[in-house]
Chains A and B, each alone.
Chain A
């Protein structure tokens, strides 16, 4: 069990560019979550997968955000046409059913 890993740790991009983040969950976990966290705030739910199926997506998530989890293993989160308001820490977590979340250390996105 190597824990949840996220890549990259930091990403600086210019407004309007697309970015993609990757999350590798704990291998036996069938649930995978993406959260966004801004400074001084708690994590805000973005989306949730059970195996390869995306079961829930926050209504706050614009159409510029898309997430995938092919084959129910790793997941990617893509943000198209980034805006300065997208600057945040993007956290991935995985879990088994009815169990606590295991978080990665996040990808910090800065949009200039």
Chain B
């Protein structure tokens, strides 16, 4: 069964706007990762945040982690049509098994 849940399930924004999606999980974690999936393709790793980190940046991506609330958020700034995809969070407590959430489907309208 899946560990995390993303919110919202679907998000539609205009190009240039920021997109924020959230992930909640259930147990203590070693790290949390965000992945992106284009339709019919495999997942691509975006960013990893460790349990002792609170915020991390990579290009137009900003990830926050609140272990007390067991939640994380992914912010994509200045969105582009090419950002249209599904986004998943994945957690691991051991570094061996990774549990994925249900995903947020993002549509960026040109």
A residues near B, CB below 8 A? Answer: 4, 31, 33, 35, 40-45, 48, 50, 55-56, 60, 91, 93, 97-98, 100-106, 108
A50 CA to B102 CA, complexed, in Å: 26
Known: A42-B4, A44-B2. 6 other contacts (CB 8 A): A42-B102, A44-B1, A48-B96, A91-B43, A100-B45, A108-B40
How many A-B contacts are there with CB distance less than 8 Å?
60
Which residues on B sit within 8 Å (CB–CB) of A56?
Answer: 96-97
Min distance, Cβ B87 to any Cβ of chain A, angstroms: 10
Which residues on A sit within 8 Å (CB–CB) of B97?
Answer: 45, 48, 56
Contact residues of B: prevailing secondary structure: loop
Chain B interface: which size bin? 20 to 34
B residues near A, CB below 8 A? Answer: 1-2, 4, 33, 35, 40-45, 48, 88, 90, 95-103
